[in-house]
């Protein structure tokens, strides 16, 4: 039994209307919650503000939305001491964090909430903000720019993948210098650098075998120009090709707890699908910082 729960829903996420879904879900959850409040967001930023305000007052926050709405929740909760359990009712376009939590189906998420199945996950700070799934520069920001413009509405959750493939046609290399807290330095040219905490980007599980949400590690992937074609093939097939992690001329991997990254030119950073920052950037893992609902398979 939960004492106080807040369900925040974002009608702007994903494609469909949420009314029917709420009609179905609320009666299932309500018997297990003493005081249950529903809040509809009116604009970007509302979820973060609500999580700051209510983090210490409730024991469960449910997010009905996609990765962007979850991103706001994570940033709200990391700013203050109250750390209630977070459950995601995935109604976004990609729902990538939900996939790593085995909650990409709403029914699985509801079952896990009712069963009280939770897991503590790492959260990563990115300069003065936080992310739960990924942060990236290079190709990935080109991909999300295209989604904003047109693709997302017409292609739904495949929009991310399709537009990633499109932007892979002409990758623009940049120079980077990465320094870890243990003194390791890497530098060179790349077309994309990903800082991964979760396994999925744009619904594709690129890193299922090498990453878990609570391994205390930030996984840095430096994709060289030669790796762009490989990545494109993976997105075309929309499946994991295990071989792609074994070619250092295409892709370098580095496990870190903390690192800083300088690029030339200065680049936009995409963080959980939201563009909010530019390089240079410092990342730091906050081990098992938040508790999420997790469906046990
Ligand atoms: N009422 C609202 N009107 C407009 N935008 C909103 C509103 N509430 C939240 N937002 C913003 O909507 C954006 C999109 O939401 P979200 O990312 O959750 O869905 P999505 O993009 O469909 O899913 P995903 O990120 O999983 O692909 C977020 O940046 C969020 O801040």
- State the DSSP string of 242-263: GGGGG-TTTEEEEEESEEEEEE
Cα 7 to ligand 1 centroid, rounded to whole Å? 15
Average pLDDT value for residue range 146-153: 55
Q: What is the fold, at CATH topology level, of the domain defined by 131-287?
A: Tumour Suppressor Smad4 (2.60.200)
Beta bridge partners of 219: 196, 255
Binding site membership of 94 for ligand 1 (Cβ less than 6 Å) = yes
Residue 133 beta carbon below 6 angstroms from any ligand 1 atom: no
157 has pLDDT over 50: no
ipTM score here?
0.95
Does the pLDDT at position 238 exceed 60?
Answer: no
Average pLDDT over residues 78-104: 93
248 or 149, higher pLDDT:
248
> Residue 293 — pLDDT band, cuts 50, 70, 90?
very high
Q: Which atom of ligand 1 is nearest to the CA of 160?
A: 27
| pLDDT (mean) for 257-261 | 98
- pLDDT score for 203: 79
How much is the average pLDDT of 54-83?
A: 95
Alpha carbon of 29 to ligand 1 centroid (Å):
23
Model confidence at 168, in pLDDT bands (50, 70, 90)? Answer: low
For ligand 1, atom 28, the nearest C-alpha belongs to 68
Q: Is 271 in the pocket of ligand 1 (CB under 6 A)?
A: no
Q: Is 249 a catalytic residue?
A: no
**Structure tokens, 223:** 């994709």
Predicted local distance difference test score (pLDDT) of residue 14: 78
Bridge partners (DSSP) listed for residue 269:
277
Which of 153 and 208 is assigned the larger pLDDT?
Answer: 208
Average pLDDT over residues 27-49: 97
Instruction: Name the residue ranges covered by the structural domains of the chain.
Output: 2-122, 131-287
Does residue 12 line the site of ligand 1, with CB under 6 A?
A: yes
Q: Nearest C-alpha to atom 10 of ligand 1 is from which residue?
A: 44
What is the per-residue pLDDT for 100? Answer: 94
Cα(136) to ligand 1 centroid in Å equals 19
Find, among 93, 45, 124, 105, the residue nearest to 273 by Cα. 93
Q: Is 194 exposed, middle or buried, given 0-12, 13-18 or 19+ CB atoms closer than 10 A?
A: buried
Question: Can you tell me the distance from the alpha carbon of 77 to that of 74, in angstroms, rounded to the nearest whole number?
Answer: 5
Residue 76 CB less than 6 A away from ligand 1 = no
Quote the pTM value: 0.91
Testing ligand 1's pocket by substitution, the residue of 39, 44, 76, 133 carrying the most ligand atoms inside 8 A of its CB is 44
Residue 186: what pLDDT? 96
pLDDT beyond 90 at 31 = yes
* Nearest CA, atom 9, ligand 1: 44
Q: Which residue's CA lies nearest to atom 13 of ligand 1? A: 68
Is it the case that residue 160 has pLDDT exceeding 80?
no
Q: What is the pLDDT of residue 148?
A: 58
Mean local confidence (pLDDT), 82-101: 94
Quick one: pLDDT band at residue 255, thresholds 50, 70, 90?
A: very high
Q: What whole-number percentage of the chain has pLDDT above 70? A: 85
The residue from 177, 252, 274, 287 that is catalytic is 274
Residue 7: pLDDT over 60: yes
Which residue among 42, 69, 202 has the greatest number of ligand 1 atoms within 8 angstroms of its CB, and so is best to mutate?
69
With contact defined as beta carbons under 8 Å apart, do 132 and 245 qualify?
A: no
Query: What pLDDT, on a 0 to 100 scale, did the predictor assign at position 124?
Result: 98
* CB 8 within 8 Å of CB 50: yes
pLDDT, residue 141, reads 79
* CATH superfamily of this structure's domain 2-122: Probable inorganic polyphosphate/atp-NAD kinase; domain 1 (3.40.50.10330)
Split at pLDDT 50, 70, 90, the class of 146 is low
Q: Tell me how far apart the alpha carbons of residues 87 and 117 are, in angstroms, rounded to a whole number.
A: 10
- Nearest CA owner, ligand 1 atom 4: 43
* pLDDT number for residue 12: 86
Q: Which amino acid residue places its CA nearest to atom 1 of ligand 1?
A: 42
Nearest alpha-carbon partner for 163 in 193, 135, 142, 184: 142
Mean pLDDT, range 58-84, rounded to an integer: 95
Residue 12 CA to ligand 1 centre (angstroms): 5
């Amino acid at each position: 039994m939960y004492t106080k729960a807040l369900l925040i829903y974002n009608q702007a996420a994903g494609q469909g209307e949420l009314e029917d879904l709420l009609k179905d879900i609320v009666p299932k959850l309500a018997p297990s919650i003493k005081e249950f409040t529903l809040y509809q967001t009116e604009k970007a930023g509302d979820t973060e503000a609500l999580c700051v305000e209510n983090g210490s007052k409730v024991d469960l926050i449910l997010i009905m939305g996609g990765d962007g709405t979850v991103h706001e929740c994570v940033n709200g909760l990391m700013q203050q001491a109250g750390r209630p359990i977070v459950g995601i009712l995935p109604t976004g376009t990609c729902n990538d964090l939900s996939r790593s939590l085995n909650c990409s189906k709403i029914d699985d998420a509801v079952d896990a909430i009712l069963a009280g199945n939770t897991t503590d996950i790492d959260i990563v700070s990115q300069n003065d903000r936080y992310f739960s799934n990924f942060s990236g520069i290079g190709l990935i920001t080109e991909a999300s720019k295209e989604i904003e413009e047109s693709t997302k509405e017409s292609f739904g959750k495949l929009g991310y993948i399709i537009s990633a493939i499109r932007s892979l046609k002409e990758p623009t290399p940049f120079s980077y210098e990465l320094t870890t807290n243990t003194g390791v330095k890497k530098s060179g040219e790349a077309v994309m650098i990903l800082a991964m905490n979760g396994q999925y980007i744009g619904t594709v599980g690129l890193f299922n075998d090498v990453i878990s949400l609570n391994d205390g590690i930030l996984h840095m992937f430096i994709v060289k120009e030669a790796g762009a074609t490989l990545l494109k093939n993976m997105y075309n097939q929309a499946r994991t090709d295990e071989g792609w992690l074994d070619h250092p001329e295409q892709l370098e991997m580095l496990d870190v707890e903390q690192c800083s990254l300088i690029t030339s030119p200065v680049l936009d950073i995409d963080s959980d699908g939201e563009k909010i920052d530019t390089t240079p950037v410092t990342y730091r893992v906050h081990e098992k910082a938040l508790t999420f609902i997790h469906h046990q398979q």
